[in-house]
Amino acid sequence: MEVNKNSTFYTFTFSIIMVVIVGASLAYTSLSLKPLQKANAADKQMVDVLGAIQVKSSRSNAKADFQKYVVERISIDYNGNKVNSKTGDVVASDATDPFNIDVKKDYRANKPAKGDISWGNANELEFPLYICEKESDTLFVIPVVGSGLWGPIWGYVALNSDNQTIYGVKFDHKTETPGLGAEIKEDFFSVKFDGKTLSEAAPYFSVLKGGSNTDEHSVDGITGGTITSKGVEEMMNRTLDIYKKFFESEA
Tell me the pLDDT of the chain (251 aa) as tens digits: 565 666 776 677 778 888 888 777 777 666 665 666 677 889 999 999 999 999 999 988 999 999 999 999 999 998 899 999 999 999 888 999 999 999 999 998 877 666 565 666 677 899 999 999 999 999 999 999 999 999 999 999 999 999 999 999 999 999 999 999 999 999 999 999 999 999 998 899 999 987 888 999 999 999 999 999 999 999 999 999 899 999 998 86
Q: Is residue 3 part of a domain?
A: no
CA 30-43-92 angle, 5° bins: 65
Beta strands in 93-193 (DSSP E): 126-134, 137-147, 152-159, 166-173
Please tell me what DSSP assigns to residue 123.
Answer: T
**pTM of the complete model:** 0.85
Distance CA 127, CA 113 (A): 19
Q: Is residue 196 part of a domain?
A: yes
Distance CA 177, CA 206 (A): 21
Q: Is residue 28 part of a domain?
A: no
Distance CA 142, CA 157 (A): 5
Q: Is residue 206 part of a domain?
A: yes
Q: Is residue 108 part of a domain?
A: yes
Q: Is residue 7 part of a domain?
A: no
Structural domains counted in the chain? 1
CB 182 within 8 A of CB 227: no
Amino acid of residue 56: K
Distance CA 172, CA 201 (A): 26
Which residues constitute the domain of residue 99? Answer: 40-250
Distance CA 38, CA 27 (A): 16
Q: Is residue 214 part of a domain?
A: yes
Distance CA 167, CA 15 (A): 60
CB 178 within 8 A of CB 210: no
Q: Is residue 112 part of a domain?
A: yes
pLDDT at 88: 93
CB 232 within 8 A of CB 207: yes
Cα 186 to chain centroid, rounded = 16
Question: Per-residue b/e over 176-208, b at no fewer than 16 CB within 10 Å?
Answer: bbeebbbbbbeeebbebbeebbbbeeebbbbbb
Q: Which residues neighbour 197 within 8 Å (Cβ) at sequence distance 6 or greater?
A: 164, 165, 166, 216, 217
